[in-house]
């Protein structure tokens, strides 16, 4: 892709310094890929790490991407203050901001739910609570089942599914995160029980992940689980983690493993599902770089769970069933989409979505 505009323009990445965020050296995977496939672009990407005591040079910077753990203002205030100062100066110079520091608080679950609802983005209804008494009051009139989780947390920390007010009252007090959120639970299996009763979507709960990088929308993965909280560690493939990775050949002969992997691979290698909706969901939160977790119902409609702008990408060593699922080529696809996004950020006006 030819670069026009400002000669030797630069994209600045702002990330946490060592030990300051959830993940060190964030972005190194796709930066290494970019250095291999487009070294001319990689040399025009600068990195600033918070806490370094250095002031980034902004003279040639046309875009700043904030690769910070969210919500940064609430959880990492020192990094937020530093990033905000960079954002103000960069914006005054006419630079474009990606995932601006203030936008990284829009993934607070209650804020996210409100912004999505206002934008007409389908998501589960939710209510915030500040205390155990408030949670009990909300539960007394809730439509069950519900999910109780932390409002500021990610990675399914302090997340519970409750079937009744009694189960809410029985939750361990020391494991409930405050402020918290009470979501109405969406059963991802229900619509498939009539439409495709023999499918793995009817037998298991599922969670899709789709990535948005500017105008680029990339399918990520589908995880299946016997329980309603779906993630890699609760998935039907979890037994293949750690030392279980050596048992991967068994997945080829286990019918359900074979079918769930086939569904996952089909999704990851197909064109993006409803790309305009995915971009709209990210943009409603002020984000252009994010992973979106959602379900897909039997009629093809989507319900969003959450957006994560500081997502983790599992590689060959730590992904589940990496060979069977084609993780190396899948990672390349995601990394290359980020590389294209960064390349386009060197063009200040190259941000118009395409179908």
Same domain, yes or no: 151 and 199: no
Q: Which of 2-11, 301-310, 315-324 has the lowest mean pLDDT?
A: 2-11
Is it the case that residue 3 has pLDDT exceeding 50? Answer: no
- How far is the C-alpha of 316 from the C-alpha of 337, rounded, in Å? 19
- pLDDT tens for 100-126 read 999 999 999 899 999 999 999 999 888
Q: Residue 4: its pLDDT value, please?
A: 44
- Domain closes at, from 133, 165, 184: 184
Same domain, yes or no: 18 and 68: yes
Same domain, yes or no: 232 and 199: yes
Two tokens at 235? Answer: 């998935």
Q: What is the 3-state secondary structure (H, E, C) of the chain?
A: CCCCCCCCCEEEEEECCCCCCCCCCCCHHHHHHHHHHCHHHHCCEEEEECCCCCCCCCCCEEEEEEECCCCHHHHCHHHHHHHHHHHHHHHHCCCEEECCCCHHHCCCHHHHHHHHHHHCCCECCEEEECCHHHHHHHHCCCCCCEEEEECCCCCCCCCEEECCHHHHHCCCHHHCCCCEEEEECCCCCHHHHHHCCCCHHHHCEEEEEEEEECCEEEEEEEEEECCCCCCHHHCCCHHHCHHHHHHHHHHCCCHHHHHHHHHHHHHHCCCCCCHHHHHHHHHCCCCCEEEEEEEECCCCCEEEEEEECCCCCCCCCCCCCCCCCCHHHHHHHHHHHHHHHHHHHCCCCCCCCCC
Name the more confident of 277 and 173.
277
- pLDDT tens for 289-317 read 999 999 999 999 999 999 999 999 998 88
Q: Residue 351: its pLDDT value, please?
A: 44
For residue 6, name the pLDDT band (cuts at 50, 70, 90).
very low
Give the contacts of 78 (CB within 8 A, at least 6 positions apart): 20, 50, 51
- pLDDT tens for 135-164 read 889 888 888 888 888 878 765 677 888 889
User: Which CATH number is 152's domain given?
Assistant: 3.30.1490.20
CA of residue 331 relative to chain centroid, distance: 15
- Domain closes at, from 42, 71, 105: 105
Same domain, yes or no: 149 and 216: no
Is it the case that residue 330 has pLDDT exceeding 70? Answer: yes
What is the phi/psi pair of residue 153, to 5°? Answer: -105, 165
Same domain, yes or no: 194 and 320: yes
Q: Residue 155: its pLDDT value, please?
A: 58
In a domain, 342, yes or no: no
**Cα distance between the two ends of the chain:** 19
- Domain closes at, from 166, 184, 202: 184
Is it the case that residue 73 has pLDDT exceeding 90? Answer: yes
For residue 64, name the pLDDT band (cuts at 50, 70, 90).
very high
User: Which CATH number is 275's domain given?
Assistant: 3.30.470.20
Same domain, yes or no: 174 and 268: no
Q: Residue 354: its pLDDT value, please?
A: 39
Same domain, yes or no: 90 and 18: yes
Q: Residue 231: its pLDDT value, please?
A: 85
Same domain, yes or no: 220 and 313: yes
Q: What is the mean pLDDT of residues 45-61?
A: 95
Is it the case that residue 1 has pLDDT exceeding 70? Answer: no
Q: Which of 36, 59, 70, 64 is nearest to 48 (CA)?
A: 64
- pLDDT tens for 164-183 read 998 888 888 888 888 888 88
Share of the chain above pLDDT 90, in %: 72
Same domain, yes or no: 306 and 202: yes
Find where tokens 């990675």 sit: 155
Which residue range is the domain that position 151 belongs to? 125-184
Is it the case that residue 352 has pLDDT exceeding 50? Answer: no
- pLDDT tens for 332-347 read 999 999 999 999 999 8
Same domain, yes or no: 217 and 265: yes
Number of folded domains in the chain? 3
Is it the case that residue 249 has pLDDT exceeding 80? Answer: yes
Beta bridge partners of 302: 296
In a domain, 315, yes or no: yes
Mean pLDDT of the chain: 92
- pLDDT tens for 194-218 read 999 999 999 999 999 999 999 999 9
In a domain, 295, yes or no: yes
In a domain, 269, yes or no: yes
């Amino acid at each position: 892709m030819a670069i026009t505009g400002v000669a030797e323009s630069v994209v600045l990445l702002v990330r946490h310094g060592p030990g300051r965020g959830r993940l060190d050296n964030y972005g190194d995977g796709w930066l290494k890929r970019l250095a291999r496939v487009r070294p001319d672009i990689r040399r025009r990407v600068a990195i600033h790490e918070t806490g370094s005591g250095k002031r980034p040079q902004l003279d040639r910077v046309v875009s700043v991407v904030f690769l910070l753990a969210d919500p940064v203002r609430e959880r990492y205030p020192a990094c937020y203050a530093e990033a905000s100062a960079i954002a103000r100066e960069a914006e005054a110079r006419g630079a474009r901001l990606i995932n601006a520091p203030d936008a990284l608080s829009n993934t607070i679950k209650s804020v996210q739910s409100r912004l999505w609802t206002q934008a007409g983005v389908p998501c589960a209804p939710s209510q915030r609570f500040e205390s155990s008494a408030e949670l009990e009051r909300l539960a007394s009139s809730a439509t069950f089942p519900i999910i109780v989780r932390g409002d500021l947390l990610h990675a399914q920390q302090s997340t519970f599914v409750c079937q009744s007010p009694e189960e809410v009252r029985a939750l361990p007090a020391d494991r409930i995160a405050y402020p918290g959120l009470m979501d109405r639970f969406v059963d991802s299996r229900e619509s498939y029980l009539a439409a495709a009763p023999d499918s793995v979507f009817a037998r298991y709960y599922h969670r899709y992940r789709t990535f948005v990088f500017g105008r680029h929308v990339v399918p990520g993965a589908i995880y299946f689980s016997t329980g309603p909280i779906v993630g890699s560690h609760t998935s039907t493939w979890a037994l293949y983690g750690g030392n279980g990775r050596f048992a991967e050949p068994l997945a080829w002969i286990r019918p359900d493993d074979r079918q769930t992997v086939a569904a996952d691979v089909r999704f990851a290698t197909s064109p993006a599902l409803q790309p305009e909706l995915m971009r709209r969901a990210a943009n409603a939160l002020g984000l252009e770089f994010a992973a979106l977790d959602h379900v897909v119902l039997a009629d093809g409609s989507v319900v969003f769970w959450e957006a994560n702008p500081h997502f983790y990408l599992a590689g060959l060593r730590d992904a589940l069933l990496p060979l069977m699922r084609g993780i190396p080529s899948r990672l390349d696809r995601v990394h290359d989409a980020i590389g294209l996004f960064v390349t386009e950020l060197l063009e200040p006006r190259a941000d118009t979505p395409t179908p």
